[in-house]
Amino acid sequence: MAGAVLLTVLIASLDETYESVQENDGLARVDQPLLDWMFGHRSPGLDGVVSFFTDIGGTTVLPILVTLVVAGLAWWWRSWTPIVLMAVAAAGSIAMTEAGKDLAGRARPPQAHAVPPYETSPSFPSGHTLNSTVIAIVLAYLVLLHVKSRTGRVVTVSLLALYAVAMGLSRVYLGHHWFTDVVAGFIAGTAWAIVVILAHRLLLRVQQRRAQRSRTGSSG
């Protein structure tokens, strides 16, 4: 129930963000001022560090890292669940990113305000942010299924949340996205991750009920 309510709120928030971008009002009004502020606080050294970090969330490095992590979890837990869940989550994330970009067709910030290499695909939503958010939430969920210590759970969630937030902000800092692109990425990524998790929880419940019926039938 709580998951469904949260999902409804997220969808409404995403719609509101999209409308603000289309009408250039609401949250979209902070896009240019925030980009200007980021531009004024750049330095060659920091630009290099942030560029290196944002490359981790790209289409080359991130898939490799995630594949290694989920393969390791699958081997450790002797379960295909990490691989299947992450494959579904990643496929949906990529599809949502492409669909959102095609729908909005929003131009990226001017290259004069961006750190090279420049990107030319539509800006809304931020694919780096959306994909990183989905991966972070699903990884956190997978770990929480097996890690029982309070410290381990808090550390896992905190680090993955920090990673997703930092990835989104790095896109604004580099001038590759507007702030509302990143906000949309956070919202859409969270919503899709919740759908994946709810589907998994439903599947587990169905399997448990079948197992109970099987045991009841065999005992009868």
pLDDT in tens, 93-136: 999 999 999 999 999 999 988 999 888 899 999 999 999 999 99
- Flag whether pLDDT at 2 surpasses 90: no
CA 188, CA 7: separation in Å to the nearest integer? Answer: 10
pLDDT tens string 141-197: 999 988 888 998 999 999 999 999 999 999 999 999 999 999 999 999 999 999 999
Q: H or E segment at 55?
A: helix 44-56
Number of domains comprising the chain: 1
Q: Which domain holds residue 90?
A: 2-219
Residue of 135, 143, 125, 139 whose CA lies nearest to 56:
135
Residue of 96, 102, 113, 98 whose CA lies nearest to 196:
96
At which residue do the structure tokens 């009841």 appear?
216
pLDDT of residue 214: 72
CA 78, CA 81: separation in Å to the nearest integer? Answer: 9
Q: How confident is the model at residue 201 (pLDDT cuts 50, 70, 90)?
A: very high
What is the per-residue burial (b if ≥16 Cβ within 10 Å, else e) of 75-111? eeeeeebbeebbebbbebbbebbeebbeebebebbee
Q: Please give the sequence-ordered ranges of beta strands (E in DSSP) within the chain, or none if there are none.
A: none
Q: How much of the chain exceeds pLDDT 90, in percent? A: 77
Residue of 132, 134, 133, 136 whose CA lies nearest to 159:
136
pLDDT tens string 205-219: 888 887 777 766 655
- Flag whether pLDDT at 220 surpasses 60: no
pLDDT of residue 217: 62
The answer to whether 199 touches 139, Cβ cutoff 8 Å, is: no
pLDDT tens string 34-69: 999 999 999 999 999 999 999 998 888 999 999 999
pLDDT of residue 60: 86
pTM to 2 decimal places: 0.92
